[in-house]
Amino acid sequence: MNLGRKLEEVVRRYGAKTAIVLGDRRISYSELDEASNKVANALLALGVKKGDRVAMLLSNTPEFVIFFFGIVKIGAIAAPMDTRYKFYELKALFDNCQPKILVAESPFLEPLVPELPKFKSVEHVINLTPGNEGPFVSYREMLSTSPANKVSAGLQADDTALIFYASGTTSRPRGVMLSHESFIAEAKASGDGFAQTEKDIVILFALPLYHTFGLEVLLLTSLFRGSTVVMLPGLSIDSLVETIEKERATMFMGVPYIFALANNLAEKEGVKCDLSSLRLCVSSAQSLPLIVREQFKRYYGFDIVEVYGLSEAVAHVTRQPVDGTGKPCSVGTPLSIWEIKIVDNDGKEVPVNQPGEIIIKGPFMKGYYANPEDTAEMIKDGWLYTGDIGRIDENGEIFILGLKKDMILIKGQNIYPLDIETVLRNHPKVAEAAVVGIPDELKGERIRAVVTLNNGHLATERELQDFCRQYLANYKVPKQIMFVESLPRTAAGKVRKEKLKQL
């Protein structure tokens, strides 16, 4: 089974049913299938072949879904990317995956226009913004002129469907290769775990589709179950609760930051909307603070089901019981398709309740695109080494204790400190730079950079922040920059980042 055939299977059952809602737009399963067939045929006409990569710079719209299915139906590989990335970041990713086509909306495309010739592999640029296509291929014309007949690409279940860039964009791109069968298996396990059906109405809010949780757990799982996905742009919590009431939504998934914002709204203004239609609230991407869970239960009357996962494992590999009986601070037990162990530094399984690295077996990634070294570091003897530290209790419940890898988590977004350090070290006044995450009550962490300057030079925090902003997505720019005479190091010369967190 591949993703195109899976969609066809769903269409035969739910064809006229609404699949996606965005404002006043309502798109049925049949319309989604037909539009994605047109995209598939248009891409073939542009010379896209099986295995070619198609880069996507798109927001959460029905067009993202249409293009995604159009790409995978012909055996090409979708490469969705963070729309907040700057040219410097995108260039590193394009150099890695060498996309043949770039699909974008005008707001994300216009800043790149002067730099497009530097994307050597890109042969065509498709602009999805109506009336503002410029010199690029028009999506509107594609749909009006392309046939809607089904395509046959001779796909295998283990063919790569998508490359995700979760982090490490500038320093060491890690493009997670996920197969058709991995997506389908994960969607089934996720839907089973959440007891999801065609009666569910799921809100897509503040979870970008270029991230695995938004694309796989929320979108694909919902579509393959015959559910309806309601897309809600922006970050207004008022709009969120109003939409839940209006659409009679049954499921909401978010990151801890969004649940904390919802609590803040309830504390200030009370709960003004009827949210009784909800049956399930899910949190992922980083640990959910106990106080956020308790406040949400007090204000809204709902338990939050916490899950754990990572892009390399498609999406989530665990879940707490959907009836709210999960242990506090636990992320639950593995889904049916996953096996989890806790091991020491030698790869040996540790006793119950002892901390160690979490390793996973199941339909995880095929590897990192064009990066065999990092793939070999991550996958050993059929197990995926997550780099996360955890423990398993006597009942099989899993607890996340921290990160073994050097990573910062902000609002559920993974950030590699090395990305920021690399940019800072390119500033002519900077001699050395080290970046750490420090606790933030609302966002989980915030970024602190500690730098030393070259002899005879002076610099300000604002000056270095502005420099970073030229090359990095805004959420990666350090909120605090500290200047020191030298970085603390171990006897072996390694920077002592724990010391930098304590400054």
pLDDT at 170 (0 to 100): 61
Supply the pTM of this predicted model: 0.89
DSSP 195: T
Query: Who's near 51: CB < 8 A, 6+ residues apart?
Result: 75, 76, 77, 160
- Compute the distance between CA of residue 55 and CA of residue 99 in angstroms, rounded to an integer: 6
Strands (E), 345-429: 356-361, 367-368, 379-380, 383-392, 398-403, 408-410, 413-415
How much is the pLDDT for 143? 87
Closest CA to 490 of 444, 427, 434: 434
Tell me the torsion sign for CA atoms 165, 166, 171, 174. negative
| 209 backbone dihedrals φ, ψ, rounded to 5° | -75, -10
* Domains 3-13+26-172 and 408-502 equal at CATH topology level: no
Distance in angstroms (rounded) separating the CA atoms of residues 93 and 488: 32
* Every domain of the chain and the residues it spans: 3-13+26-172, 201-403, 408-502
Give the residue carrying structure tokens 């293009």.
Answer: 67
| 408-502 CATH | 3.30.300.30
Element (H, E) at 341: strand 339-343
Nearest to 40 by CA among 80, 74, 11, 8: 74
What pLDDT is recorded for position 502?
A: 87
The pLDDT value given to residue 169? 60
Query: Cβ neighbours of residue 352 under 8 Å, at least 6 residues apart?
Result: 392, 393, 394
Measured CA to CA, the distance from residue 269 to residue 212 in angstroms comes to 33
Give me Rg for the CA atoms of the chain: 23
Sign of torsion, CA 254 259 260 265?
positive
| pLDDT value at residue 168 | 57
The domain defined by 3-13+26-172 carries CATH number 3.40.30.10: no
**Per CATH, which fold does 201-403 belong to?**
Rossmann fold (3.40.50)
Q: Which stretches of the chain drop beneath a pLDDT of 50? A: none
**SS3 of residue 422 by DSSP:** helix
